[in-house]
Structure 1
Amino acid sequence: MRKSLTALAALATAALAIPVADACTRILYSGAENAFYVGRSMDWAEETGTDLWAFPPEMKRDGGVGEGSITWTSKYSSIGAGFYNVATVDGMNDAGLTGNVLYLAESSYGDAKASGKPLLSIGGWLQYALDNYATVQEAVDALSKEPFALVAPVLPNGAAAAGHLALADKTGDSAIFEYIDGKLTIHHSKKYTVMTNSPVFEQQLAISTYWDTVGGSNFLPGTSRAADRFARMSWMLNAVPAEKDEATAMAEVLSLMRSISVPLGIQDPKLPNIASTRWRTAADINAKRYFFDNVHTPSVFWVDLDKLDLKAGSSALKLDLQGTPYLSGEVSKDFKPAEPFKFLAPKS
């Protein structure tokens, strides 16, 4: 037992040295009576140029990387957050499937062109899932067959595009998808309720096991590093009560995300895994209600997916958030028709 704890402690210490380009956190909160909520923070070294986008069903798509791109027609409508408006990194569809892409420095997608498979930009990874699947089980079954190869071009800011994907649904099911050394690994269980960045998810679980032996009421690691945030949030998520009232449950989710956030203006060029929180989201899966919390504005706003005019054949809709407009309450009326953004593509 002592040897195993020593090994876990060594793993926890080693994880502190892993550099990461951002410091996001994702949680899956279980309310009372089988109500589920997903919270997420976006921590990044600069503003992410994020707008909110809503897409209709029966929308024709392609993988965004030119010749050899995979093609599909969306089955579900969805709402999501654009990242530099070249990637969907957060969102939910009208079936309740909710997804979040977080940075993972260890990601390695292999030689996409040599795979012989249709190609998909990493910017469209989450959107592909939201467009095609209603449940986590459905997504796991389909994506485990690897119907495409991911292409990860450089981001507009020059950073490597590298991430892992978390999915949750209205049953409380959860799955984490990672590509390590060119191979897809899927962690699928309702117990996988927290995800941060490095190290890879399997090692995050081991680190959490170590801190469980310490006991969160006695001591928890306090830095903004990914491994510490994973341990801290795992304890806090289990410590808070399962609320029945929707408004109270959502307040609890947002309070958890704020508790793990990095204050605006705190940056360390020598520690790229510490980056300011830019925005937070929270998804009420059962109500199909999507909350957005921009750190530059004083209030939270939300979108009821059912209030958007997203029928087959309708145009994509955009909520322009450039200039950080002050929004509050339900804002579906503020979405305007817009040409969908193009997924991140290799530079020609």
Structure 2
Amino acid sequence: MKRYLKNFSLAIPFLFVGIAALVACDFTQESFNIHQALSNLMNDLHLGLIPLVLLGCTRAIYVANEETKSIFTVRSMDWSDPNISTSLWASPRGSERTSAGESDEGYPHTWKSQYKSLVVCNYNKSATDGINEEGLVANLLFLPQANYTHDENSQEKPRLTITALAQYVLDNYATVKAVVEGLKQQPFFLVTSKLAVAKLNPKTNEFEVYFKPIGLHLSVSDSQGDSAVFQYVEEYVDGKKTGKSELVVYYVPEEEEDKNKETITVLTNNLYTKQLELLNKFKKDNGDFDWGNKNEVFRWDELKKYNLEREEVKEMNPPMNGADIRFLRASFYSNRLDKIDKNIKNKRPFIDETQRDPENLEGSHSTWVEDWSKHEGLARAVSLIRNMSTPLNVQAIDDNPFLASTVWRTVADHGNNRYFFELNRALYPLYVDLEELFADLETVKKLDLYVPPVKEGEKGIDLLEDQLNKGEKIGKVNHLFEDVKDNKWFYFDYQRSDTETSGSLH
């Protein structure tokens, strides 16, 4: 391809013009496809100049020990808004829920929680991530191709706003299998709204407000290591768009799983069928991952693998940190992370050099092995999701809107019933002992971590300031949860002024 670079020299400026035009538009399926095409073309040209389609959020599962069910669900939240409010909310059983707001269209879905849960709430409206008392984890991640089209006049089904989907799952199901069976019934229409975000205008050097459509998809996992992905996308029949939304479920029942070869464990921000096609390029006929073998050569400086028999070239880690790139990276690392079992190679080796003899080095020491710390799996899980992160306030190139910083990370420790949270704008991670929290949870409780002021002149809550100046919100934080006034849960959508339930919960 390089030999054609001269012929493409005149086309390169038009790539930049196209990118600039897309920056000014809302993020749609078409713009996503164009960005992907531009990214692939520039990779082929070996230009490596512009990071395209750098979207947010990665979720992965690490099974440290299958026998002891030492299982971790890890997740990062990448977002372009540096003032995304973040709180932890705990809910008892029997909590009344209403999915209402701008998007309910007059038929809000209502339900009552059957399980206690702990969730990460963003913008005081979205249960973005969380876990319930049965060990079921739900994660909402950004999906540009999300589609929630339905008959707005239909009274057939109530409406559930997308920001409530994870909460609905945690409230009603105990296992991944139950979630799959329940959501396949499609008991509601999903609806969405737009999010107000402040963005710096480089021409005026002033912040301006624009509105971003909320498009998300869902992943779930449980304490048995089961996992599924749910995507609401535009329906196609005979290759043609129908203008309707379709639920697509990716799930491999346990009886059909081939251990260590399942692929419903990693999720980022693209259509899952396309990401599985990408992953299948690295699989052999028997399902084993083929990250490298004797017929292939991997050169670190080129970030490629060369198959000497088939004369193939595979991109191992294309430039920057896009959705498909993170999907491959997370798949690679989660698959390659050692299990922590009784196998001798997975124990810690030590060397005794107390009898070291400079004249007989090889014969003057002995070795022994010990078990890893019982928290070694946690350390590896945390390191896995940190590896998927993007630095805070990284400068985009040519005002590219898709370079989003990692604002927080979570690690759900299914085996030890702990939920770890790490805000990138803080120095220390914190965690909640779930068994202790849920044991006597009878009222709604919350813990504010980062809450920007609602009005000018007011003071917000800053986790970094609390940690540095007060020495608070570090490590275990069970004792810092506070009761919520009137035992109310947050709204899942913006409230219209004409609704009886409008107003702030704070």
**Inter-CA distance 15–284: structure 2 relative to 1 (3 Å threshold):** farther
Tell me the equivalent position of 1:166: 219
Q: 303-312 vs 232-241, which deviates more?
A: 303-312
Larger deviation, residues 78-87 vs 209-218: 209-218
Root mean square deviation, CA, Å: 2.6
Q: Give the whole-Å Cα distance in 1 for the aligned partners of 2:447 and 2:151.
A: 33
Distance 1:20 1:150, change over 3 A: farther
Q: Which has the larger radius of gyration?
A: 2
- d(CA) in 2 for partners of 1:16, 1:230: 16
Aligned residue runs from structure 1 range 33-48, under 5 A:
33=67, 34-47=69-82, 48=84
Correspondence 1:77 to 2:103:
no
Separation (CA, whole Å) in 2 of partners of 1:46 and 1:249? 32
Tell me which residue corresponds to 2:159. Answer: 119
In structure 1, C-alpha distance between the alignment counterparts of 2:112 and 2:38, rounded to whole Å: 41
Report matched runs for 1:205-220 at 5 Å: 205-211=276-282, 216=291, 218=298, 219=304, 220=316
TM (norm. structure 2) is 0.62
Residue in 1 aligned with 2:327?
Answer: 230
The structural deviation recorded for 1:22 is 3.7
Amino acid corresponding to residue 446 of structure 2 in structure 1: K
328, 332, 337: which one aligns with 2:478: 332
Which residue number in structure 2 is paired with residue 194 of structure 1? 266
Matching residue's letter, 1:185: V
Query: Structure 1 residues 110 and 307, CA, compared in 2 at 3 Å: closer, same or farther?
Result: same
| Equivalent position amino acid for 1:281 in 2 | T
Q: 1:319 aligns with which of 447, 460, 483?
A: 447
Match of 1:104 among 143, 150, 153: 143
- Residues 1:234 and 1:21: Cα distance change in structure 2 (over 3 Å): closer
Superposition deviation, residue 85 in structure 1: 1.4
Picking from 219, 223, 231, the partner of 1:178 is 231
Compared with structure 1, are the counterparts of its residues 270 and 309 closer, same or farther at alpha carbon in structure 2 (3 Å cutoff)? same
Cα distance in 2 for partners of 1:43, 1:103 equals: 9
Partner of 2:402: 273
- 2:151 and 2:94 map into 1 onto residues whose CA distance is 27
2:274 aligned to which of 200, 203, 206: 203
Q: Which of the pair has the greater relative contact order for Cα pairs under 8 Å at 6+ separation?
A: 1
Which residue of structure 2 lines up, in the alignment, with residue 5 of structure 1?
none
Contact 1:22-1:45 at 8 Å conserved across structures: no
- Cα 1:113–1:310 change in 2 (3 A) is farther
Partner of 1:143: 183
Question: Contact 2:52–2:322 (CA<8 Å) still a contact in 1?
Answer: no
Deviations 1:21-51 (A, max 9, x none): 8411000111212221100001111232111
SS of the residue corresponding to residue 165 of structure 1 reads strand
Deviation at 1:86, TM superposition (A): 0.7
Count of matched residue positions in the alignment of Structure 1 and Structure 2: 337
Letter in 2 for 1:255: S
Distance in 1 (alpha carbons) for counterparts of 2:402 and 2:277 = 20
Aligned-partner residue type, residue 104 of structure 1: L
**C-alpha separation between the residues in 1 aligned to 2:38 and 2:137?**
28
Q: Kindly indicate whether the alpha-carbon contact (under 8 Å) linking 1:97 and 1:136 is maintained by their aligned counterparts in 2.
A: yes
User: Which residue is equivalent to 2:361?
Assistant: none
Distance 1:216 1:266 in 2: 30
Residue ranges of structure 1 left out of the alignment (5+ in a row): 1-11
Q: 1:335 to 1:21 in 2, by over 3 A?
A: farther
The Cα of 1:340 is off from its aligned counterpart by 2.0
Equivalence for 2:424: 295
Counterparts in 2 of 1:102 and 1:15: CA distance versus 1, 3 Å: farther
Distance 2:425 2:408 in 1: 8
Q: Answer yes or no: is the 8 Å Cα contact 2:79–2:405 preserved in 1.
A: yes
The CA deviation at 1:13 is: 6.3
Matched, 1:25 2:58: yes
Instruction: Verify the 8 A CA contact 1:19 1:272 in the aligned structure 2.
Output: no
CA distance in 1, matches of 2:447, 2:478: 9
TM-score w.r.t. structure 1 length? Answer: 0.89
Does the 8 Å CA contact 2:100/2:493 hold for their aligned counterparts? yes
For 2:128 and 2:116, locate their aligned partners in 1 and report how far apart those are by CA, in whole Å: 16
User: Identity of paired residues, percent?
Assistant: 33
Q: Counterpart amino acid of 2:80?
A: A
How much has 1:93 moved relative to structure 2? 0.2
C-alpha change, 1:221 and 1:134, in structure 2 (3 Å) is same
* Cα distance in structure 2, aligned partners of 1:112 and 1:162: 18
Match of 2:317 in 1: 221
TM-fit CA distance, 1:196:
0.4
